[in-house]
Amino acid sequence: ETGVTQTPRHLVMGMTNKKSLKCEQHLGHNAMYWYKQSAKKPLELMFVYSLEERVENNSVPSRFSPECPNSSHLFLHLHTLQPEDSALYLCASSQGWRVVPYEQYFGPGTRLTVT
Amino acid sequence: AQTVTQSQPEMSVQEAETVTLSCTYDTSESDYYLFWYKQPPSRQMILVIRQEAYKQQNATENRFSVNFQKAAKSFSLKISDSQLGDAAMYFCAYNDMRFGAGTRLTVKP
């Protein structure tokens, strides 16, 4: 185990539903990340939170909304998703971000299916 | 923008043999870090090896080593004495933001 947990592990939702993904890290890290992993595509960085700074990939649709209430918890709120949003969503954490590219610790991911 | 390209979607190696996974990247920066991550089936992604661009010496971690060619912007991973447990998706990453599409490695007994 890497010290990063994600719930739920699997999620099936309709296009009109609202759901949230949760990530928790027990490593004392200062940065947390959301990635989207689709088959045969590069891992896509969606959002970064680091010491109250938030950075987002401008290509991520607004139907994905992140929330980081503290340095240990990260959420991804989902609403009115599309079938193409079906993917594995990975959470990661690291000691810091951008100053020095630190090793990232990944969670097991949430397999999301949008029907 | 920095892009990372892994040109081998799938690779296969016989147990105990050596295999090399390719990665190229595009950047205008002179100082950066490169990583190889391993994602076993249904398991969490973990770091395999890390290389700092200003270091000319290639990084090595037990059976894993890299061939870092800064001028060519190439960063390949060599796995020696392959084991069944090496079967996984391998991702090359530039700094902590850019990942390639991955290479699926199969190890044949």
Closest CA to A8 of A81, A63, A66, A88: A88
Does B1 have pLDDT greater than 70?
A: no
Residues of chain A whose beta carbon is less than 8 angstroms from a beta carbon of chain B are: 1-2, 4, 35, 40-43, 45, 48, 90, 92, 94, 97-98, 100-104, 106-109
CB atoms within 10 A of CB B21: 23
Which residues on chain B are in Cβ contact (under 8 Å) with A42? Answer: 4, 98-102
B26 CB near a chain A CB, below 8 Å? Answer: no
Phi/psi for B17 (5° steps) reads: -90, 180
**Number of CB pairs, chain A paired with chain B, less than 8 A apart:** 52
Please state the three-class secondary structure of chain B as a single string. Answer: CCEEECCCCEEEEECCCCEEECCEEECCCCCCEEEEEEECCCCCCEEEEEEECCCCCCCEECCEEEEEECCCCEEEEEECCCCHHHCEEEEEEECCCEECCCEEEEEEC
Which residues on chain A are in Cβ contact (under 8 Å) with B102? Answer: 42-43
The predicted pLDDT at position A86 comes to 96
Does B2 have pLDDT greater than 80?
A: no
Contact A2 B97 (CB under 8 A): no
Contact A107 B102 (CB under 8 A): no
Torsion on CA atoms A2, A4, A7, A9, rounded to nearest 10: -30
Sign for the pseudo-dihedral over CA of A65, A56, A3, B90: positive
- pLDDT tens sequence across A8-55: 999 999 888 899 999 999 999 999 999 999 988 888 999 999 877 888
CA A10 to chain B, closest CA, distance in angstroms equals 12
